[in-house]
Structure 1
Amino acid sequence: MVRPIAGEGTTECEWLAWDAVWSWPALPLDLPGSPLVVAPHPDDEILGVAGLLSLLGSADLAAVTDGEASHPGSTVHSRGELAAIRRTETADALRVLGLGGSRVHRLGHPDGGIDEDTLAEELAGLLGPDRWCLVTWRGDGHPDHEATGRAAARACAETGARLLEYPIWAWHWSYPNDPDVPWHRARRIDLPPAARAAKSAAIAAFPSQIAPLGPAPEDAAILPPHVLARFARPFEVIFE
């Protein structure tokens, strides 16, 4: 379901004041090998699970799109230039996390036009029994995030891989105890200082998203400070 992403949404102070976030059980890091992390757009995987990836020390990335539609009316960069910039930013972020040698599968779907059936087939080819598949939550409120999550769920059901979903925009539009969010499936990954620092540095590797491209409104930052605050917390959340 597409959700309006407007205003400041639920603040990070409101989330941290909710007692439930401190009582969710920890996610055991008992994975059998390197996980596959699936990102609809460059930076989704970093916002959602960069701390976890830093702790694990290995992962493969399925980059579904190159994020070329992040600034559709940009007065500074063409779509092709934005795609190239964001590919470079992804590589920089992975290096910061110590994952510079990770295999990156660039699937080449158009930003805003993911072919869900094709993606499910592609992901099934990258997964196997019990392999972790980290992907955006199927109810996240952004059409690309939800299509990617549904495709990954199909691929996991077909291959026996383990589906683990990370919310991104749900932290904006939802609220504590929102009945539309599967809080009963929430698991925490507590991040020690080194993992938090690595995540912060990886987010900083995306200047095209966290800073304006130029002075025009069309070139405004996609991830202003009130959004980034939700990803600077000392833990990450997975829906298991």
Structure 2
Amino acid sequence: MMPGGVVVDPAWLTGWAPIMVLAPHPDDESLGCGGLLAYAFRNHGARVVCMTDGSASHPNSQQWPPARLAEARRNEMRNAVAELGGSADDLNFLDHPDGWLGASDRDAVAEALVAECAASHVRRVFVTSAEDHHEDHRATADIGARMSRLAPDLQIFAYPVWSRWDDPDFDRRLPEKQAVFLPIGDARAAKLAAIEAHASQRGRLVEDDPSGFAMTDDFVTAFVDNAEIFWKVAE
């Protein structure tokens, strides 16, 4: 999926410095930024911040109540980041309730993340697209905008997850956003392994909630066989 967009080098995208990726849930980092993170971990480094605990993906499970599922998803995310070349030290779990990030004090969250950026020498932050239909994805986009207002030197880039999958007008909107494309290249195997590390979201962990979320094979293939997409968020 590269409809007339500009293909960029990962070094340009990171700005030759550590980056920060805000993931609304465990798995968004691998889906939207797995290739970028694999490069960053090999070079200047990255911080990955998980905004919510991911505990609402299987609400009808009796075997996996929210607290147990949240812990499983934290472990999955640690494994995923390891597949991309990072470590547990590169992760920060904010543990806001899944689905309720928008009810949090967004200014306080933004202030804490700006401080983390300063401590880690981060200049570029990657947040989910405001066009993604999930409320936690939109809230994460809004927190990124607040970070930019608090620290104008930070550059905020959006990465799409749900909108690139289910929005029929997605490709048409990319030129106006001046989107850039990062080919996965030799990071494909690591990105696929990172996605597969999220076993609960691949339908391999929770067995008593057939209505719970599970990534389809087609969904996974779309993210590992196509370039990652980013655009700079207007200040």
TM-score by length of 1: 0.83
Q: Deviations over 1:83-119 (max 9, x none)?
A: 0000000111111111125422221211111113332
Task: Single out whichever of 132-141 and 79-88 deviates more from structure 2.
Answer: 132-141
CA separation of 1:179/1:98 partners in 2, compared to 1, >3 Å: closer, same or farther?
closer
Are 2:85 and 1:93 aligned? no
1:25 deviation in Å? 0.7
> Partner of 2:39 in structure 1?
55
CA separation of 1:75/1:226 partners in 2, compared to 1, >3 Å: closer, same or farther?
farther
Query: How far, CA to CA, are the matches of 1:229 and 1:95 in structure 2?
Result: 21
CA separation of 1:67/1:90 partners in 2, compared to 1, >3 Å: closer, same or farther?
same
CA separation of 1:123/1:218 partners in 2, compared to 1, >3 Å: closer, same or farther?
same
1:157 deviation in Å? 2.6
> Partner of 2:160 in structure 1?
167
> Partner of 2:52 in structure 1?
65
SS in 1 for 2:116: coil
> Partner of 1:143 in structure 2?
135
Which runs of structure 2 are paired with 1:1-150 in the superposition (5 Å)? 16=1, 21-28=2-9, 29-30=11-12, 31-57=15-41, 58-100=45-87, 102-114=89-101, 115=104, 116-128=106-118, 131-150=123-142
AA aligned to 2:73 is R
Query: How far, CA to CA, are the matches of 1:102 and 1:52 in structure 2?
Result: 18
Q: Give structure 2 stretches of 5+ with no counterpart.
A: none
AA aligned to 1:45 is E
Whether contact under 8 Å (2:20, 2:122) holds in the other structure is no
> Partner of 1:12 in structure 2?
none
> Partner of 1:218 in structure 2?
211
1:130 deviation in Å? 6.9
Task: Single out whichever of 37-46 and 223-232 deviates more from structure 2.
Answer: 223-232
Alignment partner of 1:153 out of 145, 148, 167: 145
Q: Deviations over 1:65-89 (max 9, x none)?
A: 1201111112330100110000000
Q: Which has the higher helix share?
A: 2
Q: Deviations over 1:148-191 (max 9, x none)?
A: 11111110232121101110000232125666666532110012
CA separation of 1:229/1:208 partners in 2, compared to 1, >3 Å: closer, same or farther?
same
SS in 2 for 1:107: strand
CA separation of 1:234/1:216 partners in 2, compared to 1, >3 Å: closer, same or farther?
closer
AA aligned to 2:48 is L
Aligned positions, number: 219
Q: CA RMSD in A?
A: 2.1
Are 2:200 and 1:198 aligned? no
AA aligned to 2:163 is A
TM-score by length of 2: 0.85
SS in 1 for 2:85: coil
Whether contact under 8 Å (1:138, 1:150) holds in the other structure is yes
Query: How far, CA to CA, are the matches of 2:200 and 2:72 in structure 1?
Result: 8
AA aligned to 2:86 is L
